[in-house]
Structure 1
């Protein structure tokens, strides 16, 4: 087999690990299983990722990066905060939740794994800080572009949005009822826009 640099092999192995994790779960994922999925010798796998813990850390970082990118790319920030919330969450659900139960289940498993594995607890915290930071940024940008104010700090709005989405996603994974989940998502969006209490900046200054 021709030599392939570790920097090139790494994303291939992470992709293979994601396939195994989505199919078999964290407990049944081993370096040997991932090597077989990627079609490489176990020695190659162990050279790039000497332990399962290092592999799972790379997978968590990869999943977080993908989801963060979709969240950031999905939000339209030119139509005001309420539009950004509605459009962003609707697009996120369509792209990464509906029909993607394996991805969402894998994400939950990896979060729990991080919290239960000594020395990896910070990964779970980083994961949610990353999501919340991106959500807060596009909410703030949308409000700023439209000359609006938000009734609560953008960081709090982002954390509540994230918590609400997590709950709906978990219910959807347990019972993937598309029509019910979309109705529930609409209700969450209404709650979030009410919490945001969007007002024109000029009106807020006069009040």
Structure 2
């Protein structure tokens, strides 16, 4: 008599999705974002190919979850910045926290940068990148608004415009750092960003 095949333990869907996102990131960290396929993710996670499509309706839905995980981490960084003190101190803390997160996991940042560039050619992926960027924009806007709410004063331009400029420097500095890996230059650049941005705030 043929022995009964051992049944795979059931994994809750939420946990399975997390595992597949982690597997997708690992594949892209190792081989580049453009190489990711649902079959590669299944192999990395050690699950049948159908499990990926059961958890995510498409590869783009999986990539959307990858960006969502990044946004969750960014939210923890920006939403926990201490708002005590003036604009210079608050922005300096935020920039240091951003630099710490970037330098702690450069390969994941590289994956996200690659996916963002791929979105320029892929309309479906572009929508996902735009959604992620919109959340970053909101986080920076909320931080700048928090400065005025706590300390009073105002920015010399609409807060959304100031936030967009801050975000542009943050993302651009991250891309440059990924190539040069000059930590001192990164931190000096972001420190200067904090000071220059703070100079646009007046207490009156």
- With normalisation by structure 1, the TM-score equals 0.86
**1:172 pairs with 2:177:** yes
Residue 50 of structure 1: how far off its partner (Å): 4.2
Q: For residues 68-127 of structure 1, give each alpha carbon's deviation from its aligned partner in whole angstroms, at most 9, with x where no partner exists.
A: 332222x21121222111111112211x11242212111111212333223333222222
- Counterpart-to-counterpart distance in 2, 1:71 and 1:104: 17
Aligned to 1:143: 148
Aligned to 2:92: 86
Range with greater deviation from structure 2 (11-20 or 169-178): 11-20
Q: Which has the higher contact order (CA 8 A, sep 6+)?
A: 2
Alpha carbons of structure 1 residues 6 and 149: separation in structure 2 relative to 1, 3 Å: same
Aligned to 1:32: 39
- How many correspondences in the alignment? 197
Conserved in 1, the CA contact under 8 Å of 2:71 and 2:132?
yes
Conserved in 2, the CA contact under 8 Å of 1:72 and 1:135?
no
Unpaired runs of at least 5, structure 2: 1-7
- Counterpart-to-counterpart distance in 2, 1:105 and 1:15: 15
- Structure 1 consecutive aligned stretches of length 4 or more whose deviation exceeds 4 Å: none
RMSD: 1.8
Conserved in 2, the CA contact under 8 Å of 1:31 and 1:52?
yes
Aligned to 1:200: 203
Q: For residues 19-63 of structure 1, give each alpha carbon's deviation from its aligned partner in whole angstroms, at most 9, with x where no partner exists.
A: 222222122212122112212122222322243222112212222
**1:57 pairs with 2:60:** no
Aligned to 2:128: 123
Aligned to 1:161: 166
